[in-house]
Structures are given as structure tokens and as C-alpha cells.
Amino acid sequence: AVPTGAVADPEANARVRADDRAHVFHSWSAQALIDPHPVAGGAGASFWDYEGNTFLDFSSQLVNLNLGHQHPDLVAAIQAQAGRLATIQPSMANDVRGDLARRICEVAPEGMSKVFFTNGGADAVENAVRMARLVTGKRKVLAAYRSYHGNTSTAITLTGDPRRWANEPADGSVAHFFGPYAYRSPFHSASPEEETRRALEHLEQTIILEGASTIGAIILESVVGTNGVLVPPPGYLPGVRALCDRYGIVYIADEVMVGFGRIGEWFAFQAFDVVPDLITFAKGINSGYVPLGGVIISDEIAARFDTVAFPGGLTYSGHPLACAAGVATFEVFARDGILERVRDLGARVVEPRLRAMAAKHPSVGEVRGQGLFWAIELVKDAETREPLVPFNASGPDAAPMAAIAAACKKEGLWPFTHFNRVHVAPPLVISEEDLVRGLDIIDRALDVADRAAAG
Ligand code: PMP
């Protein structure tokens, strides 16, 4: 049965907390300094704990829960598949795996008709890079400083954000570059068009100085996710495509966070008039109900492995339970008009409210985004654009952001905060009423940011 809501259960709360603290080693954390919130259940855009609190989830967990908690169609599809064939190894053909691969290729650009399935985003990135290196015979990969590509060996090296640092020195065949970011442009551009032109000049210079003969791939998030919800300015992605063509470089679009509806498109690059060679996906393909990711491959690259073996594989590649949830996702998207809904809610509800917050709160430097994927960038001073907290702040330096998050949680909203930003990324199935309620909570929490900025 689908659980229906929060009930205080102090005994369960204590037990869950005790087992977790004693035995679960958590990601990205100093183990003694964290206090993970016990979660009892969830439905739709909300989840609840054992203390009687229900939270509206404005982060969709890790921006993966696109269809919300306990979607009945996804749960039923997994249950039915578990009753039929719970697992099968990847070198056998399987109905649900083939069905999902066909559906993915139907919404991908023409000329991309093969899918390699993985367990998540990082291993999708690993395998896309491997394909690019094999088909070009060139090992170096370019990635943006403001990026996250996953936490396996190559993926964390490609990642531009500080999560890379602890892994260094690493495999040297990666170089980083500045992508467009008009609000903090290292190019000092005065307009989006100028930002595009200068960012492309910088990328071409990087290619030339790193050596086009050494570079096998460029990997780019189509809309940069965790590092700021950076929507590319007009012409940037097509410009990257042109540079890849000129220098014989494979263009990998990392769609792990933005693919499958986050901005109201199947793939975010489809809003920017470009076709990559390889697409990595995960998260939204099945809302993370069972781990799944993959690489969508251009026919030209796929053909290179027609008579030469592709040297890669995973025991759970195309796991039937994960694929069943993926097929159900496609059915829900079509039946409920999810993409149209995201575009409508983004333009009609989220954007005007965030713009009003930017006008009202002195601490809001910029709001930006598309669909149900937005960032509120907070500053101490709108003139100098000094961030509300320093880059990569933690502990006491990050206290203002912790206070904003606490103000949201107190009112029943689970926010996504990162560095000096509050992101807005609710499940795509959120009701309009809940969306407005959540935005109102953020609006009130920004009073905390204003006071912190005023010092
Ligand atoms: N690429 C991007 C753009 C991501 O946002 C993420 C995860 N946040 C990954 C790759 C890695 O995915 P996973 O955590 O499933 O390995």
C-alpha cells in the first residue's frame, strides 16, 4: 500500500538514527559531524520523517526524483517485472530492456539509435569517454571548471568543481576551461551574444594550446546543474559543436541531471539547437527507483564497434527492474503531458515569482533557469556581486546558507542549497498549489539572506 503521511514514532526514529550513526558510512561527509535526517516515507512531491514532519521536496532528492515518490505506475511496473523476471545478465536479449532502448532512441536526435546501459551517471560518463577515446585514438578530454560529472575515476577528474581536488593529482589527460556564465563572466561580456563569442574564442584557444591532435572529447552539461543552473547563451552549444567538427573531437552532452524533463525537453540540448555525438543520462530516466543510467550513441560511433568489440560491460547493465521503471516513465510522460507541464509551470509560475523575489530582496543577485530548474544566486552586495558566502564555504563560513535552509525546513520545505545559491528543482509532478506554497516559503527565507547580507 502507498504510505499516506507522517506519524510521530519516537521509537522508530531512535532506532533508525542509531543504526545509521553506528554503521552507515556517508558520502562526501566528515562522519562525526553529520546528522542525517531519518525519512519514513514519501508520496508525490513530499516525504516525511518519524517526528510528524512532512517536507515538500524542492530538490527532488538529488534532482533525480522527477516523477515524485511512490508514483503508482512506476511502483506497479517494478512489482510486475519482479514477479516475471527479476534479473537477467546483460549479454542476453530481454524484452523490457529492448523496449526502453527503442523508446529512448525515438526521442533522441535522428542518427542516434543505440543505447549502452549503466548503473548511473558516473559510469555513463566513464563509458562515453572510453568510446570517444577509442574512436578518435586521442586521450585528452576537455571539461568545464563549473561542472560535475560523477565520482568514479575519470568522471571525478573531469569534474571541474572542488569535489575534484581531493582526488588530485589524477590522470593528467583532462584539461578544464571556462564555460559561459554571464553573471560572473571571466570574459567581462556586456551581453549574452558577447559571452557566447568570447567563451567560444576561449574554448578554441584552449583546444589549440592543449593540442587538437591530443583531444578526443569535450564533455558539457547542456545546462550546468549543481554548479549553478547555468543556461547556455544563444549559439554557445552550436558553437561548441562546430569546434568539435573542425578539430575532430567527440561532443559528449552530459544530460544526467537535466535529461528526461527537468527543463521541459526530453534532453536539454534540444532547446539549444544542437546534436551531440554521445549523450549520458541517468536520474530522470526512471526517477532513481532502481539505479539506471546510460549512453546514447551516434550511429557513426556505434558502427565503429560493429566488428571490433567494445571493451566495457557491467553485471547490471540494463537491469530489468530499472528498465521496467523506465518504460513506465515514458508512459507517464506521454499520458500526463509532463514536458508541456514543466514548460508551463516554469514560465507561468516559477519565473515571475523568482523575478519578483529578485526585485524585492537585496541579497538576490540573479535568478536564472528554465522549466523546473532554477537558481537564486545570493550576494552580499548587488553592485560588487560579492557572494553571500565564499566559494566552497563550509562550517561557520557557510552559516548564512545553513540559516536559510533551516528557515525553509521549519516551514516544511526541503531546499537544495549549494555554495551561495538556493536551487529550485521540485518533482515535475508537483501540484501548482504546492509549487506556489514552496516558492512563498523560499521568499520568506530570503529575509534571512537579506539580514545576513546587511551584516
Ligand atoms: N553528471 C551530472 C551532470 C550529474 O549531475 C551527476 C550527479 N549529480 C552525475 C553525472 C553523476 O551521476 P551519479 O551520481 O548517478 O553517478
- Is any ligand 1 atom within 6 A of the Cβ of residue 223? no
The pTM of this model reads: 0.98
ipTM of the complex model: 0.99
pLDDT in tens, 57-106: 999 999 999 999 999 999 999 999 999 999 999 999 999 999 999 999 99
Residues belonging to the chain: 455
- Architecture per CATH, domain 10-70+338-454, reads as Alpha-Beta Complex (3.90)
- Is any ligand 1 atom within 6 A of the Cβ of residue 373? no
Grid look-up 543504526 returns 19
Phi, psi of 99 (to 5 degrees): -60, -45
**pLDDT of amino acid 2:** 44
Phi, psi of 318 (to 5 degrees): 70, 45
- Architecture per CATH, domain 73-335, reads as 3-Layer(aba) Sandwich (3.40)
Q: Which atom of ligand 1 is nearest to the CA of 221?
A: 3
Distance separating alpha carbons of residues 18 and 418, to the nearest angstrom: 28
Comparing 10-70+338-454 with 73-335, is the CATH topology the same?
no
Pocket-testing residue among 147, 229, 254, 257, ligand 1, by greatest number of atoms within 8 A of Cβ: 257
How is residue 142 written as a grid cell?
576537455
Distance 254 CA to ligand 1 centre (A): 9
- Is any ligand 1 atom within 6 A of the Cβ of residue 150? yes
- Is any ligand 1 atom within 6 A of the Cβ of residue 365? no
**Is 379 strand, coil or helix?**
strand
Q: Which atom of ligand 1 is nearest to the CA of 147?
A: 3
Q: Which atom of ligand 1 is nearest to the CA of 62?
A: 8
* Rounded alpha-carbon distances, angstroms, from residue 362 to 312, 449, 450, 452: 52, 9, 6, 11
Distance separating alpha carbons of residues 111 and 404, to the nearest angstrom: 46
Other beta carbons less than 10 A from residue 192's beta carbon = 17
**Is 361 strand, coil or helix?**
coil
**pLDDT of amino acid 193:** 97
Inter-residue contact 378 to 422 (CB < 8 Å): yes
Distance separating alpha carbons of residues 242 and 239, to the nearest angstrom: 5
- Is any ligand 1 atom within 6 A of the Cβ of residue 442? no
**pLDDT of amino acid 170:** 87
Pocket-testing residue among 156, 158, 227, 256, ligand 1, by greatest number of atoms within 8 A of Cβ: 256
Q: Domain coordinates of the chain in residue numbers?
A: 10-70+338-454, 73-335
Grid look-up 515524485 returns 68
- Is any ligand 1 atom within 6 A of the Cβ of residue 416? no
Listed as ranges, residues in the chain with pLDDT below 50 are 1-2
